[in-house]
Amino acid sequence: MNNGYIKTGIGNLEVIEDRGIIRELNFTDKKVKKSNASPIIKRCVKQLEEYFAGKRKIFDLPVKISGTPFQQKVLKEVMKVGYGETASYQDIAKRIGNIKAVRAVGAANRQNKVPLISPCHRIIGKDMSVKGYAGKQRVKTFLITLENPKIKLKTPFSILKRRIVKLHYNV
């Protein structure tokens, strides 16, 4: 296995590759190290840099979607949600043919080893709320607004702000 790192506006990302296939992308506190990265890691890092610069909307990388067959099915469906778009956990459950699997869809997203490539950050609550994300809610909010600055999300801060306004102004 080989690894490489990239600095982003939301922390460092570690890219892990094995036999020419991207296996993991991890947000990490590790310092970015200079490494003798493999060609696929260099390609991945370049594409990630383009993504964070707003120049790349689709990743073109060999990637391993790991997990149970159900998790793989969910994450492959998540990969169909386009740049700047969102879908709810319920939407994904419907698309895979199991409307009752909303929580299981969330659990599959939490097991995603290749966030950004399988863009689980684009999956939100049906009420536009930012729900759990393996990379933390602030990261999820950042990524969604990077892709679509005009989107109106319900974040813990926006909900708290509305409650404070309501209490303060008695509305």
Residues 79, 75: Cα–Cα separation, whole Å:
6
Contact predicate 21/33, CB 8 Å: no
Contact predicate 16/2, CB 8 Å: yes
Instruction: Cite the active site residues.
Output: 120
Contact predicate 118/65, CB 8 Å: yes
- Bridge partners of 129, per DSSP, are 154
Q: How many residues does the chain have?
A: 171
Report which secondary-structure segment, H or E, holds 3.
strand 2-8
